Amino acid sequence: MMATYLEFIQQNEERDGVRFSWNLWPSSRLEATRMVVPLACLLTPLKDRPDLPPVQYEPVFCSRPTCKAVLNPLCQVDYQAKLWACNFCFQRNQFPPSYAGISEVNQPAELMPQFSTIEYVVQRGPRSPLIFLYVVDTCLEEDDLQALKESLQMSLSLLPLEALVGLITFGRMVQVHELSCEGISKSYVFRGTKDLTAKQIQDMLGLSKPAMPMQQTRPAQPQEHPFVSSRFLQPIHKIDMTLTDLLGELQRDPWPVTQGKRPLRSTGVALSIAVGLLEGTFPNTGARIMLFTGGPPTQGPGLVVGDELKVPIRSWHDIEKDNARFMKKATKHYEMLANRAATNGHCIDIYACALDQTGLLEMKCCTNLTGGHMVMGDSFNTSLFKQTFQRIFSKDFNGDFRMAFGATLEVKTSRELKVSGAIGPCVSLNMKGPCVSENELGVGGTSQWKICGLDPTSTLGIYFEVVNQHNAPVPQGSRGAIQFVTQYQHSSTLKRIRVTTIARNWADVQSQLQLIEAAFDQEAAAVLMARLGVFRAESEEGPDVLRWLDRQLIRLCQKFGQYNKEDPTSFRLSDAFSLYPQFMFHLRRSPFLQVFNNSPDESSYYRHHFARQDLTQSLIMIQPILYSYSFHGPPEPVLLDSSSILADRILLMDTFFQIVIYLGETIAQWQKAGYQDMPEYENFKHLLQAPLDDAQEILQARFPMPRYVHTEHGGSQARFLLSKVNPSQTHNNLYAWGQETGAPILTDDVSLQVFMDHLKKLAVSSAC
Amino acid sequence: MAELYVKPGNKERGWNDPPQFSYGLQTQTGGPKRTPLTKRVAAPQDGSPRVAASETSGPPPMGPPPPSSNAPRLLPVGSSPAHSVEPMGFPAFESEALIEDVLRPLEQALEDCRGHTRKQVCDDIGRRLALLQEQWTGGKLSTPVKKRMALLVQELSSHQWDAADDIHRSLMVDHVTEVSQWMVGVKRLIAEKRSMSSKKETNEEKSEAAVENRTIPSFQEAL
């Protein structure tokens, strides 16, 4: 049974990009709430499907105005009468004339079960070019600025040819560069201290004339009067030489920075102008505002810290003690900008490279609400930044750019279900309707969301509520259904519509609990609960979130564990649940919920990536992967535990943000002695190389690029491994089991063993 | 065609900066994965710490590792380490590429464009080609850059626009410091030649069709 469900889960994920917490659905509202883990799914709307060519026609919609579901394999069809019945609202619909030739043996793709996920290409409609607006901080050190300039020049060769590009630079002042091939570079200069409304910005840039959408780009005719709106945003194929030179000539911000002071950086106004410029010229078309910054905003609206170096930027302790005087106001400023950008379908990226914090905490909604990227590095002159930045422009197997824009996701449910909300890089479109639950989880109160920037790995957590009443049982063998419709601008600028329609069986909890248990997806459940926890952590106190998480785990164990009352040693969990407590243990210790080991910016960075990655990567973040390499056989996964650290093993740990290779003591000694260079010990050379090659495979593909730690027993960098593994042997209980195995960890963290013992005690106790 | 290599990251500026992969390595579409590292091990339910197979008590003995003949095969099938692969050389380019071999075709291409492209653009491209020459003869360009430019020019002369474009991209990614000032001129040259060539093709098609229409009646007449 177990193996079949794992296969079922995997097949569904591969085909539909969906992972549900429960694959057999509890048929009553009351029972569903007692399941502890809500009915929810992780959805990757644009999952890579190399085997699914898009169809070149438009979807057929249900004609009921309050429904408008898309024709799908669950619909009943009368091929004689050329009618189809919507499976969500039961409306009978006439097929359009183009479907006159369909029959049982000549089905359109969208009716076939293997096309539960299908993508349509919309050929008609205006095609707007993609837009890239660079917003560049010039308060950088010389070599950092030089490296950034080169990366930006390089990116001009990577951009789609028809794309429009623009440049805003800032420091103490904000400069909007007019891009002209005539060789005379003009710019408009704004003071960095003054907040401006959208209208003021548009007036001052001369954009007050109504903006006309750019038609298909044609070679510029000499007599052609250029549209007013395109002075600041020009096609790459026209402007690349001019812009290359302009970038090459950028200087550091000329305003002198005296001793003990920070440079005056007007990030708030720069972003405001960028948002306003795009708002006035290209609303409702795919665009990226790309902010490159080397330090915190120190002037004007959105200021995060003052210019006195002796006043440090806020830490978590400051925030806890309500001692972060600029935080609320700054956050509000960037939230306002983020919401405006999202309304216009534009996304905001932040590339922050500095040794100290840059204000990611205050600016995070810019990326999180719009689906923009957040990249954090030490310097623009690092491989981490350069390659991460290059990967923004990566292409898929068809040679198309992976980035996509302006997505709207709509969720439809059969009547026994409603949508409670979504957690991910999205904003609500406030679409009310029969599918919308009053009980909100995440971004709720809607059945439609907007994701302005996304790619094939972008993943949302979507939470549902079973509304069927206990006394209205569902018929035996019946299924609930959900449809996800994602409309978006593909990088080719054509609009596409991806439709995924899924169904799962209802089950009665009283009589079919074991079947429901077997269909539990502990990996999906862990990530979905984790997203809920991290979402809460943004507005609630840390300890409260941990207590909530613990409470849910105890309740889950009470319901689904096998045990004798008051006997902790009897406690067992079936295979379907066996990894779940471990996931929760590691989640509690993770940087997503334990903030005091990190700066507020780092926490924001980790949480940003956690809220959008797919299941596999999210799990890696919750519970890092640990593989052991030895002479005893092929590489094998080992417990994330100090007992896995052995002298004759090499460990590879992947936390998503770091790849750590750790040489055990003996391995390190052998390497020092140079055995890898001796021909008779060639297998030792292979052993040393194997984890390096595996690490390289990860490093070559992952976005953002992880840090790379190569260390050994006793090395100072070994702390990255030691802090992650469960401290099952601390200096307190070193000899508890008699024999010394593995490496002791010096910490007072509670170990997985202690955690599990405590959990079992609470689960079996009748007092809870 | 591009080089495949890995360089170490910039440890001075970024702690634990990851290695830098060349454009060629980054754009490789993935083959079969070596070892998908996604599995986990469940903690034992009965609570005892996992005892590892090869446990050693006390400090590890400093004997040598097991020699090659005794050790079991541990490399996954089909793997090949890609670490620090030397740049792929082509036999024809063993000797250093010559500046004339590169610059002459580029200048010729520019001349071809003069009738079709705006004067200002042509002048701009010309300026950048002059800069390329200056840097080349001044010894400022590295061997890999020269090699790849020679390849690019070959592709351009054979009308392989996509291949030439890809080489230009690989040079911008891998050697931006050396090439950024003038490479955008080469990029534009490729684009202009490409658009000229497609215009020429459509014109040729049109005139071919016209010629055919004229010959058919006369052929029939001959009958």
How much is the average pLDDT of A549-568? Answer: 93
Cβ contact, residue pair B68, A647, below 8 Å:
no
Residue B103 lies in a domain: yes
Q: Tell me whether A107 touches chain B (CB under 8 Å).
A: no
Which residues of chain A neighbour B173 with C-beta distances below 8 Å? 154, 157-158, 390
For A179-217, b where at least 16 C-beta lie within 10 A, e where not — what string?
beeeeeeebbebebeeebebeebbeebebeeebeebeeb
Percent of the residues in chain A that have a pLDDT greater than 90, as a whole number: 82
pLDDT at A433: 92
Residues in Cβ contact with A206 at an 8 Å cutoff, skipping those fewer than 6 apart = A228, A231
Cβ contact, residue pair A181, B120, below 8 Å:
yes
Residue ranges of B 132-171 with Cβ closer than 8 A to chain A = 168-169
**Closest CB to A383 among B17, B56, B180:** B17
Q: Which of A204, A179, A200, A202 is nearest to A189 (CA)?
A: A204
Cβ contact, residue pair A578, B45, below 8 Å:
yes
Residue with tokens 């009738």: B115
Cβ contact, residue pair B172, A157, below 8 Å:
yes
pLDDT tens column, A271-283: 999 999 999 889 8
Cβ contact, residue pair A683, B65, below 8 Å:
yes
Residue ranges of A 144-163 with Cβ closer than 8 A to chain B = 150-151, 153-154, 156-158, 161
pLDDT tens column, B129-159: 999 999 999 999 999 999 999 999 999 999 9
Q: Tell me whether A356 touches chain B (CB under 8 Å).
A: no
Cβ contact, residue pair A652, B19, below 8 Å:
no
Number of domains in chain B: 1
Per-residue tokens: A692: 């390096």
Which residues of chain B neighbour A697 with C-beta distances below 8 Å? 33-34
What's the half-sphere exposure (Cβ side, CA atoms, 13 Å) at B5?
14
- B218 band by pLDDT with thresholds 50, 70 and 90: very low
Cβ contact, residue pair B33, A697, below 8 Å:
yes
Long-range (24+ apart) CB contacts under 8 A made by B165-171 are B165/B190, B166/B1, B166/B2, B167/B1, B167/B2, B168/A157, B169/A157, B169/A158, B169/B23, B170/B1, B170/B2, B170/B3, B170/B22, B170/B23, B170/B24, B171/B145
pTM of the model: 0.91
Residue B24 lies in a domain: no
Q: Which residue of A has its CA nearest to B19?
A: A383
Q: Has residue A221 got a pLDDT over 50?
A: no
How much is the average pLDDT of A738-766? Answer: 70
Residue B87 lies in a domain: no
Dist CA A133 CA A229 (whole Å)? 14
Q: Tell me whether A669 touches chain B (CB under 8 Å).
A: yes
Residues in Cβ contact with A562 at an 8 Å cutoff, skipping those fewer than 6 apart = A570, A571, A572, A573, A574
How much is the average pLDDT of B102-113? Answer: 94
Residue ranges of A 240-259 with Cβ closer than 8 A to chain B = 240-241, 244, 248
What is the domain range of residue B111? 99-194
Residue B168 lies in a domain: yes
Q: Has residue A596 got a pLDDT over 50?
A: yes
Q: Which residue of A has its CA nearest to B82?
A: A693
pLDDT tens column, A690-746: 999 999 999 998 999 999 999 999 999 998 999 888 665 554 444 333 333 455 544
Residue to test with chain A: of B37, B83, B118, most A Cβ within 10 A = B37
Q: Is the peptide bond before A637 cis (omega within 30 degrees of 0)?
A: no
Q: Tell me whether B76 touches chain A (CB under 8 Å).
A: yes
Which residues of chain B neighbour A728 with C-beta distances below 8 Å? 49
Dist CA A621 CA A527 (whole Å)? 10
Which residues of chain A neighbour B184 with C-beta distances below 8 Å? 153, 156-157, 240-241, 244
Cβ contact, residue pair A161, B191, below 8 Å:
yes
**Closest CB to A579 among B28, B42, B181:** B42
Residue with tokens 């002459």: B104
Q: Which of A627, A316, A48, A187 is nearest to B29 (CA)?
A: A48
Residue B159 lies in a domain: yes
Average pLDDT, chain A: 91
- B219 band by pLDDT with thresholds 50, 70 and 90: very low
Burial of A306 (0-12, 13-18, 19+ CB in 10 A): middle
pLDDT at B203: 81
Dist CA A707 CA B16 (whole Å)? 5
pLDDT at B213: 58
The CATH number that applies at residue B110 is 1.20.940.10
Residue B137 lies in a domain: yes
Cβ contact, residue pair B187, A240, below 8 Å:
yes
Domains identified in chain A and CATH numbers: 5-61+113-123+402-470+478-507 (2.60.40.1670), 131-207+230-392 (3.40.50.410), 542-761 (3.40.20.10)
Q: Has residue A61 got a pLDDT over 80?
A: yes
Per DSSP, the three-state class of A291 is: strand
Residue to test with chain A: of B69, B165, B173, B194, most A Cβ within 10 A = B173
Give A447→chain B minimum CA distance, Å: 33
pLDDT at A209: 57
Cβ contact, residue pair A379, B72, below 8 Å:
no
Residue to test with chain A: of B184, B192, B198, most A Cβ within 10 A = B184
Q: What is the dihedral of CA A717, A723, A725, A728, to 10 degrees?
A: 120
Q: Could you tell me which residues are beta bridge partners of residue A489?
A: A405, A495
**Closest CB to B35 among A694, A705, A709:** A694
pLDDT tens column, B39-84: 888 877 765 554 443 344 444 446 788 887 654 444 443 344 444 4
Residue B120 or residue B217, greater confidence: B120
pLDDT at B66: 83
pLDDT at A709: 95
According to DSSP H, which parts of A446-579 are helical?
509-518, 522-537, 542-560
Of A291-305, B91-105, B195-209, which has the strongest mean pLDDT?
A291-305
**Closest CB to A382 among B14, B33, B61:** B14
**Closest CB to A647 among B40, B42, B56:** B56
Residue to test with chain A: of B28, B83, B119, B180, most A Cβ within 10 A = B180
Residue B64 lies in a domain: no
Per DSSP, the three-state class of B127 is: helix
Q: Which residue of B has its CA nearest to A390?
A: B173
Helix (H), strand (E) at residue A41: strand A40-43
- A94 band by pLDDT with thresholds 50, 70 and 90: very high
Cβ contact, residue pair B172, A181, below 8 Å:
no
Inter-chain contacts counted by CB atoms under 8 A, chains A and B: 244
Cβ contact, residue pair B40, A686, below 8 Å:
no
Cβ contact, residue pair B48, A633, below 8 Å:
no
Q: Has residue A534 got a pLDDT over 80?
A: yes
Residue B44 lies in a domain: no
**Closest CB to B65 among A150, A158, A681:** A681
What's the half-sphere exposure (Cβ side, CA atoms, 13 Å) at B18?
29
Q: Which residue of B has its CA nearest to A695?
A: B37
Q: Tell me whether B74 touches chain A (CB under 8 Å).
A: yes
Dist CA A162 CA A459 (whole Å)? 28
- A686 band by pLDDT with thresholds 50, 70 and 90: very high
Q: Has residue B221 got a pLDDT over 60?
A: no
Cβ contact, residue pair A573, B64, below 8 Å:
no
Contact A571, A760 (CB under 8 A): yes
Which residues of chain B neighbour A663 with C-beta distances below 8 Å? none
Q: Which residue of B has its CA nearest to A151?
A: B176
Tell me, what's the ipTM?
Answer: 0.87
pLDDT tens column, A647-678: 999 999 999 999 999 999 999 999 999 999 99
Q: What DSSP string runs through A88-115?
A: TT--EEEPPGGGTT-BTTB--GGGSGGG
pLDDT tens column, A244-253: 999 999 999 9
Residue ranges of A 626-645 with Cβ closer than 8 A to chain B = 627, 629-635, 637-639, 641, 643-644
Cβ contact, residue pair A638, B41, below 8 Å:
yes
Dist CA A549 CA A526 (whole Å)? 11
Q: Which residue of A has its CA nearest to B25?
A: A700
Which residues of chain B neighbour A623 with C-beta distances below 8 Å? 40
Q: Has residue B120 got a pLDDT over 70?
A: yes
- A419 band by pLDDT with thresholds 50, 70 and 90: very high
Dist CA A523 CA A617 (whole Å)? 11
Q: Tell me whether A652 touches chain B (CB under 8 Å).
A: yes
Residue ranges of B 109-138 with Cβ closer than 8 A to chain A = 120-121, 124-125, 128
Cβ contact, residue pair B49, A707, below 8 Å:
no
CA-CA-CA-CA torsion sign (A18, A21, A26, A27) = negative
